[in-house]
Structure 1
Amino acid sequence: MTLNLRAPAVGPTIALVVAVVVFSVTTSTFLELDNLSLVVEQSLVVGTMALGQTLIILTAGIDLANAANTVLATLLMAKLVVGGAPSWLALLAGLAVAAFIGGVTGGLVTRVKLPPFIVTLGLLTILTAVSRIYTGQSVPVTDPLLSWLGTRRYLFGGIEVTYGMTVAVIMYVVLWYALTRTSWGKHVYAVGNEPEAARLSGINVRRTVLSVYLIAGLIYGIAAWQALGRVPNADPNAYQTGNLDSITAVVLGGTSLFGGRGSVLGTLVGALIVTVLRSGLTQAGIDDLYQNVATGVLVIAAVALDRFSRGRQR
């Protein structure tokens, strides 16, 4: 058995290992169990949003409104419960609205033929405004069901794990299987590589792309549930850079912005890279502004490397 060094997730995994080793040597607290658990927990919501973002980018699209969708879902869930609605109904309503917004996005892209960048940029503005109109202030969440994913358990007596982490792992495994072991997954990659060729081979391109946006929307709804479990407070100003953070995780994970190449495993690694980098640099005493510079440089380098790689393949 040989290691495929060209697999999309291999490079990001090596980068993650190198980052962990460097911060373990340069700081005294990075390898502590509490810190490692915190790193994973901090990557949870963005990592879930990045999962939906991965599906869309695999079809050569992009979603600038995913974080705004997630925030609106948190507000809807919280407000409904405060208003007296059953918690299960509030949860289902949040998931349904997030999926509906994903469906609207997919419909505008597939039926009206609008560019995904323009559609999601417009929705970003709309959803951000709607969230602030809906509630101009944060809404505390005390309902057990809405905060359930924040429930903590301990593995092997010392490793802290939340139900939200478990749900994230399950989603990654399910989507990994769907993308690599089903005809739907093959269609997603085919559409991202060359939509016209996919259409000529009998693939329903519109239906495939629409399904991707619908599933991504549902994933954003689950991210909203995770967010309420992590911080039991629905805030209209939360995750203002969540869309960019999710794109960063996807790109650093080796998924091509040009579509048709990448993996959810790489996205998971990419989300961890972003969090490990921020955590390690913070513990090393590096200012937040320089952390943003380092993250930006990594993103540009990853896209440039992908572009160079595609150019050589041609």
Structure 2
Amino acid sequence: MSSPLPKSLPSPSTLGLGFALPPLSALGPVIALLAAGLFFGTQSDRFLSGQNFSLILQQVMVVGIIAIGQTLIILTAGIDLSCGMAMALGSVVMTKFAVDLGMNPYLAVLCGMLVTVLIGFINGALVTSIKLPAFIVTLGTMNIAFAVTQLYSQAQTVTGLPDAMGFFGNTFQLGAATFTYGTVLMLGLYVLTWLFLRDTAPGRHIYAVGNNPESARLTGIATNRVLMGVYMLAGLCYGIASLMSVARMGVGDPQAGQTDNLDSITAVVLGGTSLFGGRGSIMGTLVGVLIVGVFRNGLTLMGVSSVYQILVTGVLVILAVATDQLTHKKG
């Protein structure tokens, strides 16, 4: 007599190992990052060195922090085109307050961050109260922030900064590589955001609002309050990125951040966060940021023109968005 069949078969995703593998949407960016690393490692002897890895982290430090705020907004099915210009305005405000007004550097940094949070507040207020599309609202505030930055700075770079503003650009040695304190702060912010989204009620509310705002409202979630909080929290991220930009370059640059909005959106989408909202991971965004940094660094080491680097980034984001669209339709 044959033995009875088991009541249930193990899921293919467990592979009989007793634990579930991450979904393909989470594994895909990691596989892409590893594949890119292996490819560029075969093209340049310098690519796989610890020093080059630390350089990649320094290069993506500012965009990486901006992408945290961008992820929170995209999780709610919104988008923020003003992030780069908000960051530039914050950096100009904090540096000019410190240099021209002689303000205490820590207070000047706080003022710069308050400006970026204010931009987030304006974006959130227009999205929630007037129900304007986030794309239109942030396109408008992007242009306003750019104009205010140029007018206030008179399109001049701010120099002669106090040493305190350059702290996060300082380096320390770890093995054969040199890292900045700013990269440590960036990685720490990703961990904190991951814990916030995973383990707190407000974090879970962000996913709920992005997935279905009407259902979230009917369950008692204050959707407008969640959206306001998300845009203001994103503004705080842009303020921190302002300080990182100042620390990395040693100046307040009114021309900074002009492509950071597209770079941050690219990183978020490459990391697997859906533009339709409600699905994604902040750690996926970190992987997406690293993918962009690895491609640009690797192509630079290969001697490829920066024009082709932009071309490759554009192809990557189109592929990622197309995958997101097909997955959404299938769902």
- TM band (smaller chain): over 0.9
The code of the aligned residue for 2:79 comes to I
**In structure 1, distance between residues paired with 2:19 and 2:305:** 41
Determine the structure 2 residue equivalent to 1:295.
Answer: 313
Partners of 1:278 and 1:141 in 2: CA distance: 31
8 Å Cα contact 1:8/1:266 also seen in 2: no
TM-score normalised to structure 1 length: 0.97
Asked if the contact 1:50–1:249 (Cα under 8 Å) also holds between the matched residues in 2, the reply is yes
**Which AA in structure 1 matches 2:243?**
W
2:155 is the alignment partner of 1:155: no
User: Which of 52, 59, 71 in structure 2 is aligned with 1:35?
Assistant: 52
Cα distance in 2 for residues equivalent to 1:39 and 1:105: 31
Aligned residue number for residue 42 of structure 2 = 25
- Does structure 1 residue 145 correspond to structure 2 residue 164? yes
Distance 2:306 2:242 in 1: 26
- Structure 1: which amino acid aligns with 2:177? I
Structure 2 residue matching 1:154: 3-state secondary structure: strand
- The one-letter code sitting in structure 2 at the alignment partner of 1:154 is Q
**Aligned to 2:165, what secondary structure does the other structure show?**
coil
| Residue 229 in structure 1 maps to residue 247 in structure 2 | yes
Cα deviations by residue, 1:51-94 (Å, 9 ceiling, x for unpaired): 10000000000000001000001000110111211111101101
1:99 matched to 2:99? no
**How far did 1:5 drift?**
4.0
- Deviation per residue, 1:85-123 (Å, 9 max, x gap): 111110110111111111111011111111100000001
Give the corresponding residue for 1:304: 322
**Alpha-carbon distance in 1 for matches of 2:59, 2:270:** 17
Q: Contact 2:98/2:161 (CA < 8 Å) preserved in 1?
A: no
In the alignment, structure 1 segments of 5+ residues that lack a partner are none
Deviation at 1:3, TM superposition (A): 5.2
Whole-angstrom CA distance in 1 between matches of 2:209 and 2:140: 24
Contact 2:99–2:161 under 8 Å retained in 1: no
- Aligned equivalents of 1:7, 1:68: Cα separation in 2: 34
Report the structure number with the largest CA radius of gyration. 2
- The CA deviation string for residues 194-228 of structure 1, in whole angstroms up to 9 with x for no partner, is 10111111110000010000100001000001111
> Which residue is equivalent to 1:126?
144
Q: More displaced, 137-146 or 169-178? A: 137-146
CA shift, 1:239, in A, is 2.0
Match of 1:161, SS state, is: strand
**What SS does the corresponding residue of 1:147 show, helix, strand or coil?**
helix
Paired position in structure 1 for 2:62: 45
Using CA pairs under 8 Å that are at least 6 residues apart, name the structure with larger relative contact order, 1 or 2: 1
**Count of residue pairs the alignment pairs up:** 312
Q: Deviations over 1:216-271 (max 9, x none)?
A: 00010000011111111111111210100000000000001111111110000100
**What secondary structure does 1:88 align onto?**
helix
TM-score, normalised with respect to structure 2? 0.92
Please identify runs of 4+ aligned residues in structure 1 that moved more than 4 A.
none
Contact 1:9–1:269 (Cα < 8 Å) also in 2: no
SS at match of 1:257: coil
